[in-house]
Amino acid sequence: MTAPAPDDPQTLTALSFYPSQYDYIEQLRLDPEEGALEFCRGGGQRLYYLLRGRYAWRRESEARWRLEIGALDVLDPYTEARRMELPPRSVGCRVERGPFAIRRDVVWRVKSMAAWPCSVYPLRLRFDEHPLFGRALHSELPAGGYEEVAYPSRLGEDREAAAVRASMTTRGLLLLHDRTTGAARPDDAEQPSFVLCPERMGGSILGRMRRQLEGDFFGLALGLRGGEERSVDRAIEVLAEVGVDEVVALTMSPLPEPRPPVVLAQARGALAKRLPGAPLRVLPAAFARERVAHHLARQLRQLGAVPERVSQVLLCASPASAVGAEYVAAARAIADDVAARARLPCHVAFSRRAGARPTVDEALAAIGLGAPGVALAWISPLAPTRPQVDEALAAAEEFRGAGGTLLQLPQLITEHVAELLVDHARAHL
């Protein structure tokens, strides 16, 4: 029988950061009596890290605790030879009450979605950042990009999906993107299926979101407007197969799409057919614009030479159809935010199809053909369509031909999009 949930984390002996994964382990083992901890990370039949140290819990409020870590050593995961010593850590966390249901990865065939193996946890710990990898402790260790939510391994209860649905309300997250009015499909689009099969999700946006939102949502699906296999109707069908009682919809652009009601109407129609009676909650369309600006500014700083190499920034908004005043104002607001964060002049330009001014070539001409150190980036976190890329590159070539220096920033795809969407979804739960 499952042990009762403790009132505080001091009695916990093991925390798992990715409890659904069958080929990946990230676990923090705790010895409350000795005050000793061990952290192990591995995947694909290989161990990556082994850390050992001392720990203590300190209560800050009724639901807030602080984990103090010291005497922390990095060991060889196979020989346990000591590699280095790390500085002390102090990370805050919040105890969240469940239940939280997580669908497990399996390597065998499951006869039906109703029989899918799940784990149910009575509580979880949400750290302010990953307790060991939230900030760079050493140049050889990673920083950021890791889940900060941990589940108590020994308190998990195994159930089938049908039993989970019968005992608690489950939610599904529907990501919507109108390809006819926005950027190209996300980076996982070449995968043959977006159904909740871990082996097909790899490093995709959906895969990263699922790993970070497990426990908050019972299922994730992506619906693209435009007639592909990943249609909105198919996405709702996936959530119906998984078994959810409520659907939360979120559009994937930080800018207001010209025709968002079209894709939402498709979602509502599919929901009425596949999941009659299930409510649809729509989150604000223009998600986390300040987070988009934050990531763009961070990319500028990561060039390593601001302001030596970069003196100005040009952000390109690349919708595939005409836009209105709200869209233009939102794009300029992001540019102003980037300028404030990066402390650099920041301009915004629009593709010719947008019908807004200035276009990319006009903006570069206004900056001054031949100007040094201009960084070019797209506002959308998804890859722009080919015509918009060609349009921008043609203008860039003319700019370079006149002696200007222009750096292209990487697209905000995959891990950054997943992080932005996760932040936004959790903020509105």
Same-domain check for residues 181 and 191: yes
Three-class secondary structure of residue 165 per DSSP? helix
Q: How confident is the model at residue 188 (pLDDT cuts 50, 70, 90)?
A: very low
Is 420 within a domain? no
Instruction: Tell me the pLDDT tens digit for each residue of 273-310.
Output: 999 989 999 887 655 677 778 777 777 776 654 455 77
Q: How many domains does the chain have?
A: 3
Full residue range of the structural domain in which residue 197 is found: 165-287
Q: What is the pLDDT of residue 407?
A: 73
Sheet containing 280-282: give its strands across.
219-225, 171-178, 246-251, 280-282
pLDDT tens sequence across 36-56: 999 998 888 888 889 999 999
- Domain annotation covers residue 40: yes
How much of the chain exceeds pLDDT 70, in percent?
79
Domain presence at residue 427: no
Q: Answer yes or no: do 69 and 180 share one domain.
A: no
Say which residue, 139 or 208, is predicted with more confidence. 208
Token pair recorded at residue 350: 């629009």
Task: Name, in order, each residue with C-beta under 8 angstroms of 416's C-beta and a sequence gap of 6 or more.
Answer: 295, 381
Query: pTM to 2 decimals?
Result: 0.74
Question: Residues 188, 227: one domain?
Answer: yes
Residue 353 and residue 261 in one domain:
no
What is the pLDDT confidence band of residue 183, given thresholds at 50, 70 and 90?
Answer: very low
Same domain for 136 and 230: no
Which residues pair with residue 281 across a beta bridge? 248
Residues with Cβ within 8 Å of residue 244, at least 6 apart in sequence: 170, 171, 172, 218, 219, 275, 278
Residues 125 and 220 grouped into a single domain: no
Residue 116 pLDDT exceeds 50:
yes
Distance, CA of 162 to CA of 173 (rounded, Å): 19
> Does residue 17 sit in the same domain as residue 152?
yes
Contact present, 17 and 29 (Cβ < 8 Å): no
